Amino acid sequence: MHETIIKKPKVLARFLEGPHLKERECFLRQCAAEGYSLSMLRKIAWILLSISPNLDFCHGKITKFDLEQAIDGRVYFIKSSKHKHGSRQMFIRFATKWIRNLGLFEDIVKEKNSFDIYISEFSRYLSDERGLSPVTISTRCERLSWFFDYLNSRIDSLCSITIADIDDFIKEKGNNGWQRSSLASLASDLRSFFSPLFGF
């Protein structure tokens, strides 16, 4: 799989010589099957290679804390990037998905909230009615989940959510270093869920 997405021999050699090659190859093939673009596959390959030296697959489950330690300790350039929040989130997202697919991720059971059912219904709607790709559905549902987590216990009813709540959430992401393009994408994803409620 690496040979398909990386053409420079010296760069390719680095990827092929890195730890956990078989596991990285398998995950990249899965991502390709899910419809990720060539440029995104290269980013995913780099994420996996970057954190692999700091991950031990032989001593039990790997927690989210373990992944964050591996990311923060290895990917030094994230800390100096003005867009470090978005970069770190992307690393955590794909690292978690990779380790979970290997059956090595230790999930902390999240207490269900009153919004979980809406996320499930939204996912089915995007798949059955809109025919969107699994990648798009996963991204939209993940961002919707972030928003509901942001509301925390302040709001427990869909009807109690206001446009101001959405604006505040997007503003917070902007203050945390998200790029304008990422904020626009976030707003679009939230709009796709809330448009029937607010009529926009």
Mean pLDDT, consecutive 10-residue stretches, the chain (200 aa), reads 91 93 93 89 92 82 80 53 57 88 76 77 90 86 88 78 91 83 89 76
Do both 13 and 96 map to the same domain? yes
Q: What is the pLDDT of residue 109?
A: 55
Residue 21: inside a domain: yes
Q: What is the DSSP string of 80-134?
A: H-TTHHHHHHHHHHHHHHHHHHTT-B-PPPPPP-TTHHHHHHHHHHHHHTS---H
Q: How far is it, in rounded angstroms, from Cα 113 to Cα 152?
A: 9
Select from 73, 102, 131 the last residue of a domain: 102
- pLDDT at res. 77: 41
Instruction: Output the pLDDT for position 110.
Output: 56
Q: Would the pTM of this model clear 0.85, i.e. be above it?
A: no
Range of the domain at 83: 1-102
Strands (E), the chain: none
96 and 148 co-located in one domain: no
> Residue 62 — φ and ψ, nearest 5°?
-115, 125
> Are 72 and 2 part of one and the same domain?
yes
Q: CA geometry: angle at 104 spanning 59 and 4, to 5°?
A: 110
Q: Residue 175 belongs to a domain with what CATH number?
A: 1.10.150
- Domain membership of residue 162 (yes or no) is yes
Say if residue 76 is in the same domain as residue 150. no
Asked if 92 and 184 sit in the same domain, the reply is: no
Q: Which pLDDT tens digit goes with each residue over 106-118? A: 866 555 667 888 8
